[in-house]
Amino acid sequence: MGIPIGNAATNLMIESRKVKFVSPADTVHELIDLDELVIRLTLPASGTGYITMPDVEAAAGRIYSIYVISDGGGNVTCEDINQSDILDDDFSAAADLALLYSNGIEWVIITETTT
């Protein structure tokens, strides 16, 4: 069973298994799997947690949605597999979000709203 997105012409579906709920603790690097296209974050109580995106070459052509559903007081940094920051700022508040596209060479920020 999936969640329909787009319109009937595109008939795009996100399967339930592709949604990941993440609560990285301080200093923990949470790995995002290749097929986890929708990431819902709960920020840690303090300090900085990390989400590590899949290999950019393997993720070519995919768009990833990251959204903060709960503010725990800490921050989450979005990084590539080499532990380099992808976004301009950390996720630090509820409703922070980012859409990332992999062109196979680098991560492209479609949109970023971080506070």
Residue 2 domain-assigned? no
The residue type found at 78 is C
Average pLDDT for 59-88: 94
Count the neighbouring beta carbons within 10 Å of the beta carbon of residue 12: 11
Residue 106 domain-assigned? yes
- 63 pLDDT band, cuts 50/70/90, is very high
- Number of domains into which the chain is organized: 1
Q: Where in the sequence is the domain holding 92, given as residue range(s)?
A: 19-113
By C-alpha distance, which of 51, 48, 29 is closest to 40?
51
Residue 9 domain-assigned? no
Residue 72 domain-assigned? yes
**What is residue 18's three-state secondary structure?**
helix
Residue 5 domain-assigned? no
The DSSP letter of residue 85 is: B
Residue 73 domain-assigned? yes
Residue 90 domain-assigned? yes
Tokens of residue 8, six digits: 């009937």
Residue-level length of the chain: 115
Residue 68 domain-assigned? yes
Instruction: For residue range 19-44, list pLDDT tens digits in order.
Output: 888 888 788 889 999 999 999 999 99
Instruction: For residue range 74-114, list pLDDT tens digits in order.
Output: 999 999 999 999 999 999 999 999 999 999 999 999 999 99
User: Greater confidence, 12 or 31?
Assistant: 31
Using CA atoms, how far apart are residues 23 and 9, in angstroms rounded to an integer? 35
24: domain CATH number is: 2.60.120
